Chain A
Amino acid sequence: MMLTRHLILNPAAALLLATAAMAAPAADTSAGTQLEYWSAQAGAPGQAARGQAFFTSRHGGEWSCSSCHGTPPIREGRHATTDKSINPLAPAFNPRSFTDSARSDKWFRRNCKDVLNRECSAGEKADVLAYLLQLKP
């Protein structure tokens, strides 16, 4: 009986330990570092004007980036289906923006699919980062 209980409870304990390990904020990068990284990947520096056009236009789908993040994304955004508020995206208005590479990668992947129905290219990410970085108070 005790053995059974251990067999069942162990996955829960393992999950708890895994959370503790995952929960700490990574803060392993910055928006500026990511701009350099994606510019290098694309083989050309990101351009703010191109990023702004990309950010505010629709790409064949129902939404643009600004549908949820706002134009310009310096205030709280509003989710297009749930109406929940979203923290400002521009780094000058949100110190946690683009400071965790895994989190940035995850949301680029998810939200690019929401807007473009595909993943964004390195050049598109570099352009958007250049645009977001030049937004200042």
Chain B
Amino acid sequence: MYLPATLTQRTANPPAAAQARRRVIDDPMRMFHWLFAGAFVGAYLSADSEHFRLLHVTLGYIMAGLFAFRLAYGLLGPRQARLANLRSRLAGAGSWLRELPRGGPGHWRRGQNLLTALAIAALLLLTPLLVLSGYGVWQEWGADLAWVDEDWLEELHEAIANAFLAAVLGHLALLLGLSLLRGSNQAQPMLTGQIDGAGPSPVKQRRRWLAALLLLAVLAYAAWAWVDAPHGLIPVLSAHVTLQ
């Protein structure tokens, strides 16, 4: 059978230089990131409709569960996933500010990395406030107290959600801006888990099984929530299913 020379060459004998990659993010972290991002986008979009109220609440619980996983993985997980890394990246903020008057290219680069870490820290710090205030709205904490507005917690929840959205947009703007500035796709590590270049990989194990387990847990919870909801999570779909 005839195959183009380039194709046979590529499959048979990959050129070593073009393939040099380092694995920097493991699979559970990527799975966490995308599920967490998806849950927030879904929750934000379903926030204003009573039709999707239970979908919104379910996505909030999913965010809380994913956050618990992130904390556990960041405390007990492998070195590259430790939350302490984030803290030490932010610990440089003081010296960076003191050196601000001097500036210079190295300082500018450090500032970029500091902002990237700050956006991630903001998202992680806002998450417990976001899900806790949302839980309070769902449980109607303090709604019947005469001296507060009936919607006080909901207003707070919305304000936190908007702060969270601002941090998400800051995170995305930084990725886009730094990709243009540095001439390489800064989102690549979270997309593929790898960055280009030779050298040792900080990630020793991909832990595919843990990523699969996390996905399975989220899907199982969503399925349970759907069945448990009096009219399903997406009423229009459930109505059609009942009619048939």
Q: Which residues of A come within 8 Å of B, CB atoms?
A: 1-4, 7-8, 11-12, 15, 18-19, 22-26, 62, 68, 79-84, 96, 100, 103, 106, 110-111, 113-114
Contacts and interface: CB of A to CB of B under 8 A. Distances in A.
A4 B90 contact: yes
Contact of A82 (B94, B126, B230): B230
Contacts of A114: 49-51
B50 A103 contact: no
B155 A22 contact: yes
A81 B230 contact: yes
Interface of B is mostly: helix
B163 A15 contact: yes
A113 B51 CA distance: 10
A23 B239 CA distance: 38
Contacts, number: 91
Contacts of B93: 3-4, 7
A18 B159 contact: yes
B49 A113 contact: yes
Interface residues of B, number: 37
Given A18-B159, A110-B50, A4 B91 contact: yes
A15 B159 contact: yes
Given A62-B239, A81-B229, A110 B48 contact: yes
Contacts of A1: 91, 94
7 contacts: A2-B94, A11-B122, A15-B129, A15-B159, A22-B159, A81-B53, A114-B51
A1 B91 CA distance: 5
A134 B107 CA distance: 70
Given A19-B155, A62-B235, 20 more contacts: A4-B93, A8-B121, A8-B122, A15-B160, A15-B163, A19-B159, A23-B148, A23-B152, A25-B147, A25-B148, A25-B149, A26-B149, A79-B50, A80-B231, A80-B235, A81-B51, A81-B53, A106-B151, A110-B49, A114-B50
Contacts of B97: 3
Interface string B15-53: 000000000000000000000000000000000111101
B163 to A, nearest CB: 7
B149 A24 contact: yes
A62 to B, nearest CB: 7
Interface string B149-172: 111100110011001000000000
Contacts of A22: 149, 152, 155-156, 159
Contact of A19 (B48, B50, B156, B236): B156
Interface of B: 48-51, 53-54, 57, 90-91, 93-94, 97, 118, 121-122, 125-126, 129, 140, 146-152, 155-156, 159-160, 163, 229-231, 235-236, 239
A84 B126 CA distance: 28
Nearest to A11: B163
B152 A3 contact: no
B49 A24 contact: no
A120 to B, nearest CB: 15
A81 B50 contact: yes
A24 B230 contact: no
Contacts of A2: 94
A8 B57 CA distance: 27
